[in-house]
Structure 1
Amino acid sequence: MRRALLSSFVVTTLVLGPGRLAVAEPVGGIPPVGAGAGDASSGDGSSIVGATPELSNGEDVDSRAEALEAGKYWTAERMARAIPADNLLPAPPTGPATRAAGPTGRPGSTPAASPTATRPGGRAARIADTASVGKVFFKNPVNGKNYVCSAAALNSPSKQMVVTAGHCVNTGGSKGTAGRWMRNWTYVPRYRDGARPFGTFAAKHFRSFSGWTDHSDLARDVAMVTTWPLNNKKLVNVTGGHGLSWNFSQRQATTVFGYPGNHGKGKSQRVCRGKTRAAGASYSELRCDFGSGASGGPWLREYDEAKGLGRQNGVMSTRNRDGWNRTPYFDTAVKRLFDAQGSKT
């Protein structure tokens, strides 16, 4: 079965800097299931890499003042015109799969957390609209354009974390050239047609896998982001945050959230429910037909409709021409990523 990124896009050459190039492929250019380049240091692309986010001008977002500056960049007009990030990605990797088949250890989960702060208007969670899911907005440092993805709040010791797709945080590497980290990166919980009921949370620290940042390996298309508190309140305390699951069967009753552009033009959350199936050793899939803009949205086990929370067992990555969406398989490496980022404040 052929895979495609979450939307059609033209062949484009990106200038990464002096003498640095990456090429985006047309739809259908992604390798067969299981293909992907492993990382030389870990053998499977699971080495963890991180970075401090930057503003448009390249200054680090290392203070509350810079965090507010990142948020101010996102006017209603810029948010409305942001392009789905899956419209422009580096060339996919080639070569044999290096990941082991199936789980890489015993299955496990961390707990979700309900909000401790008062919700605006006292709105209760709804199946198709939860405060623990939102949109991310960022500027691509390669071409200077504004992009958008989906994401979710993830409960951790810091209470400040978001999980999304790797390509929503880093442009992805190719042919020995590492990808660039996105700029002016912000997360807007429960975004709805321009409304920001919980405000705009700026990124404080990024982490992803070297498989993505160095090789554009879709099997490692996962990132976790620590956000700055907003008005002295931490994200998970405000919106609640999902738990995390890893090393579970690839057949799971699953609830998927995102902002797909082919459903309601990406202006509000959409939900898809069903039972996932294996798509090779490195992916699980579900026929949601979520298109561009849904990248980074959560795949949840044990979703509680009353609380609007579940245990995240995947992240929206790709869609094929038959409407099957895929997530990288959440193995022990994803738990290590969580451990590395989850306490960072």
Structure 2
Amino acid sequence: MSAALGAATVVVATPASAADDQVVTTVSEADRAAALAHWTPERMRQWVGEEDLPPAEKIGREWEGSVPSGVGRLFFTAQPGVDGSCTATVVPSSSKDVALTAGHCVNGGLDRFDNPIKIVNVVFVPGYDHGEAPHGVFAARAFAWSSTYSGPMSGADDDAVLALDPVDGRHVADVAGTQDISFDKLPSTVDTTMLGYPVSKAAGGEALFSCEQPATFKENSVNKTWNTDCDLAGGSSGGPWLRNFDPATGKGTIFSVTSRGTMTEDGVTTDLSGAALTEPVRKLYERAGEL
């Protein structure tokens, strides 16, 4: 079974506005305050020890040492009250407030009555590690995806940007650092470091995990994707796929993010795919500093 890899739930936001090339949701100041109040350290750790979590990863390994620049855990709630988490990464922007994640982390389709599920309580915790938030907890003031992204049934352009409020006057890029992002054409196989916070029995989302695997480019009439046999579980969605990663500096260049995975009946992830970064996503990213 192939599925988008959010944790605990797959959700959709109710867009506040839709331009020709992107869909933007803005978050009120009151709702941002409510998000920060909702995500206590105890709530962030709510999945630890749950019996029905997917089995521990065999290929993915817990990251040793400090979390690389800009990488962190993204939390949200799908009304009427189902919490979930993904992974996101701070990227360079004019505002110094932008993070990149998967589109399905903030747009997950419709409920069984064909109504959009409103998403609330969106916060990003760069450097998250076993309940610790070393750089602070950043509330999202807006998030957006390209109008070419049609939801979790599609893997095309499964990317989203988040605009985050500063914490104590400090921008997220200044306190957590960034990872570069590139839209360059690449070889069909790229040595890749994939990072994410899988909500599996290995750590319940509490630790960053990584895979170091070659990613292979595949293209058909519908999608252009990067593919690996990495086995990170749900919660790793939105995590960066980095080329030229330098462990000494903790930096590389994003060329995709985790989008979908194939899972067995036992919940074991057997492979991951990430959408190729297209021209619509480039435009989304270039305007993200204005959110």
Inter-partner Cα distance in structure 1 for 2:35 and 2:199? 24
Instruction: Call closer, same or farther: CA 1:126–1:80 in 2, change over 3 Å.
Output: closer
Say which of 224, 227, 232 aligns to 2:169: 232
For 1:265, the equivalent position in structure 2 comes to 204
Matched, 1:3 2:2: yes
Contact 2:140 2:162 in 1 (8 A): yes
Aligned-pair CA distance for 1:126: 6.4
The one-letter amino acid paired with 1:270 is F
Q: Deviations along 1:261-282, whole A, 9 cap, x unmatched?
A: 2343321001111211123342
Instruction: Call closer, same or farther: CA 1:337–1:7 in 2, change over 3 Å.
Output: closer
**The residue matched to 2:36 in structure 1 has which SS?**
helix
Matched, 1:187 2:186: no
Matched, 1:77 2:42: yes
Matched, 1:254 2:192: yes
Matched, 1:198 2:135: yes
**The residue matched to 1:265 in structure 2 has which SS?**
coil
Inter-partner Cα distance in structure 1 for 2:211 and 2:65? 10
Contact 2:4 2:237 in 1 (8 A): no
Aligned-pair CA distance for 1:9: 8.9
For 1:150, the equivalent position in structure 2 comes to 87
Which one has a larger percent strand, Structure 1 or Structure 2?
A: 2
Aligned-pair CA distance for 1:340: 1.6
Inter-partner Cα distance in structure 2 for 1:215 and 1:268? 25
Q: Deviations along 1:263-322, whole A, 9 cap, x unmatched?
A: 433210011112111233421111110111111111112212222122111111111136
Q: CA RMSD in A?
A: 3.3
Q: Deviations along 1:137-182, whole A, 9 cap, x unmatched?
A: 11113x321111111111111111011111111233599x684452
Contact 2:148 2:280 in 1 (8 A): no
TM-score, structure 1 normalization: 0.68
Matched, 1:309 2:255: no
* Greater relative contact order (Cα < 8 A, sep 6+): 2
Of residues 160-169 and 216-225 in structure 1, the stretch that sits farther from structure 2 once superposed is 216-225
For 2:261, the equivalent position in structure 1 comes to 319
Inter-partner Cα distance in structure 2 for 1:339 and 1:3? 30
Inter-partner Cα distance in structure 2 for 1:260 and 1:215? 18
**Unaligned segments of structure 1, at least 5 residues:** 18-40, 54-59, 88-124
Aligned residues with identical type, % of pairs: 28
Contact 1:298 1:315 in 2 (8 A): yes
Instruction: Call closer, same or farther: CA 1:50–1:295 in 2, change over 3 Å.
Output: same
**The residue matched to 2:287 in structure 1 has which SS?**
helix
Of residues 326-335 and 206-215 in structure 1, the stretch that sits farther from structure 2 once superposed is 206-215
Matched, 1:289 2:242: no
Inter-partner Cα distance in structure 1 for 2:89 and 2:238? 8
Higher-Rg structure is 1
Contact 1:128 1:269 in 2 (8 A): no
TM-score, structure 2 normalization: 0.79
For 1:34, the equivalent position in structure 2 comes to none
For 1:160, the equivalent position in structure 2 comes to 97
**The residue matched to 1:77 in structure 2 has which SS?**
helix
The one-letter amino acid paired with 1:182 is I
Inter-partner Cα distance in structure 2 for 1:172 and 1:242? 29
